[in-house]
Amino acid sequence: MEDILNGLKFDANGLIPAIVQDHENGQVLMMAWMNREAVQRTIETQRATFWSRSRQSFWIKGETSGHVQHVKRVSVDCDQDTLLLQVEQVGAACHENFRSCFYRDVSEDGLTVNAERVA
Amino acid sequence: MEDILNGLKFDANGLIPAIVQDHENGQVLMMAWMNREAVQRTIETQRATFWSRSRQSFWIKGETSGHVQHVKRVSVDCDQDTLLLQVEQVGAACHENFRSCFYRDVSEDGLTVNAERVA
């Protein structure tokens, strides 16, 4: 584990971005940030755990909402400065109750909602 | 276009992360960074254009390699601080000639290559 963590490139704030994708249908659900310990916790517990930049604390996804992410696979990119998590998402990944945080499409004309809220 | 760009949250360096996904099979190919003008160029030209942090210059993906990304769809997340591009990828997204930059899986035991190089 130490070798893996040492190989990762954290930014000036000690963070690395983690893309979260539905492991079944490939939908990109969200992106959040991890510090070294969040990466370790995520791999060891197989529950997506991030570092909240606004609250400056660990954030186990779904801890309060129940919308947990069971981690099926973790990958790292060529530069080792971005992680990709493939997860089983319970409920909605987005706090606005959309399945994915990317619920708006962008065009030259503006933003268009591309999904409906979950339940 | 100005309204869209004004709505985005760029970081302290004036950058926003852009996740790039294959529009057909959902494979996450890479993540790179855009400044305000790169976002505008990407939307207007439908060719993925990033800001290279190492070279401090615009980087039209595939300009030298031919591995261009034709942008089919751009989405933005709830916080408007991350973009998702769905693209038609010509050849390999990764400079190491893997289709995706995320060609290694991470586990407690270490890294495992999960793909073969393209051609």
- Would you place residue B103 in the very low, low, confident or very high pLDDT band (cuts 50, 70, 90)? very high
Q: What is the pLDDT of residue A101?
A: 98
In chain A, residues with a C-beta closer than 8 Å to the C-beta of B79 are 101
The answer to whether A101 contacts chain B (CB < 8 Å) is yes
Minimum-distance CB partner of A106 among B21, B43, B96: B43
Which of A65, A81, A75 has the alpha carbon at shortest distance from A119? A65
Buried b (16+ CB within 10 A) or exposed e, B19-50: bbbbbeeebbbbbbbbbeebbbbbbeebbbbb
Q: How far is B34 from chain A (nearest CA, A)?
A: 15
A2 part of contact set with chain B, CB < 8 Å = no
Percent of chain A with pLDDT over 70: 99
Q: Which run of H or of E encompasses A70?
A: strand A69-76
- Contacts B28 to A, Cβ<8 Å: 19, 21, 28, 84
Q: Could you report how far apart the first and last alpha carbons of chain A are, in Å?
A: 39
Is B78 part of the contact surface with chain A (CB cutoff 8 Å)?
yes
Residue with structure tokens 């999960």? B114
The reply to whether residue B17 touches residue A21, judged by beta carbons under 8 angstroms, is no
pLDDT confidence tier of residue B41, bands split at 50, 70 and 90: very high
- pLDDT of residue A10 exceeding 90, the answer is yes
| pLDDT for res A18 | 98
Q: Is the pTM of this model over 0.90?
A: yes
In this complex, is the C-beta atom of B65 within 8 Å of any C-beta atom belonging to chain A? no
Return the SS3 of B4.
Answer: helix
* Structure-block tokens of residue A101: 């945080």
pLDDT above 80 for A71: yes
- Mutate one of B77, B81, B85, B108 to test the A interface: name it (highest A CB count within 10 A): B77
Which residues of chain B does A44 touch, with a Cβ-Cβ cutoff of 8 Å? 108
